[in-house]
């Protein structure tokens, strides 16, 4: 049974959550990735292991965290380990199945910028920076990315390489000695994208309900490639929408005034 009305952001979050499974060990980024991962935990993947950069393992927050340092993460985690152990043993040790990241800018090969917009020395906008994202992008077995489409976000050439995706495409990761799969899924508020097996250029494989191909191209800074067969993303169910909206309402109430 599908929900009646839903926003593009709700569709994006729910579509992203569906990509996660019960057996995944997921390194979670703050913001949209955190929402998607926790919706997966609250719906079809109750045994998913969520890990945040602050060292919290198996966390199950009742509200979405404001940052990796939010006490909600530590309070609900199975255990909390030192950050060096988190990165050296868990991430660089190959124990993370999915690194789930957001992006300020992304290009057609899944390279991500979260550092600056414009020249590095004199940027138009200085962004939060990489944090652990560069390591997550290279050491997770594979990477999922979620963001709202716009020409500012989806660009022909990113202004700064914060997190390496598929570089110039093709076997660029392998030539650099990076043996993980890199970005394998991009979920936006309009579509689901996957990299071409050979070129590694992101290609639209599914359009969300009501979205036309022209809408995807209008909000993308490069010439969009569409798969030979483009599916329609199943709309959110009433249960998925209810759980997402309840989570957002609890989060807003908990953080009000903070």
Extract the tokens encoding 61.
């927050």
Contact indicator for 62, 106 with CB cutoff of 8 Å:
no
**Where residue 123 falls among pLDDT bands split at 50, 70, 90?**
very high
% pLDDT > 90, the chain:
91
Under a CB-based contact definition with an 8 Å cutoff, are residues 189 and 149 in contact? Answer: yes
| Structural domains of the chain ordered from first start | 8-253 (3.40.1080.10)
For residues 28 and 146, the answer to whether their CB atoms sit within 8 Å is no
Q: At what angle do helices 8-18 and 238-255 cross, to 10 degrees?
A: 110
Choose the weakest-confidence range: 25-34, 155-164, 236-245: 25-34
Strand partners, 49: 25
What secondary structure, in 3-state letters, does 157-216 show?
Answer: CCCCCCECCCCCCCCHHHHCCCCCCCEEEEEECCEEEEECCCCCCEEEEEECCCCCHHHH
pLDDT band at 182 (very low <50, low <70, confident <90, very high): very high
Query: What digits encode the pLDDT tens for the residues 214-224?
Result: 999 999 999 99
pLDDT tens digits for range 74-107: 999 999 999 999 999 999 999 999 999 999 999 9
Tell me the pLDDT band of 254, cut-offs 50, 70 and 90.
Answer: confident
Average pLDDT, the chain: 95
- Range from 26-30, 144-148, 153-157, 221-225 carrying the lowest mean pLDDT: 26-30
Structure tokens at 203: 């290609």
Q: How confident is the model at residue 13 (pLDDT cuts 50, 70, 90)?
A: very high
Query: Which residues does the annotation mark as catalytic?
Result: 53
Q: What is the mean pLDDT of residues 241-255?
A: 94
Q: Are 114 and 128 in contact (CB under 8 A)?
A: yes
């Amino acid at each position: 049974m599908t929900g009646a009305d839903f926003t593009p952001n709700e569709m994006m979050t729910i579509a992203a959550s569906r990509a996660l499974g019960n057996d995944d060990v997921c390194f979670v980024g703050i913001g949209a990735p955190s929402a998607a991962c926790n919706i997966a935990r609250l719906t079809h993947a109750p045994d998913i292991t969520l890990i945040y950069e602050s060292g919290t393992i198996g966390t199950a927050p009742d509200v979405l965290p404001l940052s990796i340092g939010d006490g909600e993460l530590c309070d609900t985690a199975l255990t909390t380990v030192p950050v060096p152990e988190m990165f050296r043993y868990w991430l660089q040790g190959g124990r993370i199945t999915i690194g789930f990241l957001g992006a300020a800018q992304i290009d057609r090969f899944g390279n991500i910028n979260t550092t600056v917009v414009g020249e590095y020395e004199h940027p138009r906008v200085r962004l939060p920076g990489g944090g652990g994202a560069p390591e997550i992008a290279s050491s997770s077995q594979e990477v999922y990315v979620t963001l709202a489409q716009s020409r500012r976000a989806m660009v022909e050439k990113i202004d700064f390489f914060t997190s390496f995706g598929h570089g110039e495409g093709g076997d660029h990761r392998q030539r650099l000695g990076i043996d993980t799969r890199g970005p394998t899924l991009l979920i936006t508020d309009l579509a689901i994208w996957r990299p071409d097996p050979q070129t590694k250029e992101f290609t639209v494989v599914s359009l969300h309900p009501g979205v036309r191909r022209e809408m995807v191209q209008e909000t993308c800074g490069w010439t969009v490639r569409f798969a030979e067969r483009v599916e329609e993303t199943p709309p959110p169910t009433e249960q998925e929408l209810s759980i997402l909206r309840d989570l957002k309402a609890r989060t807003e109430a908990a953080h009000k005034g903070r």
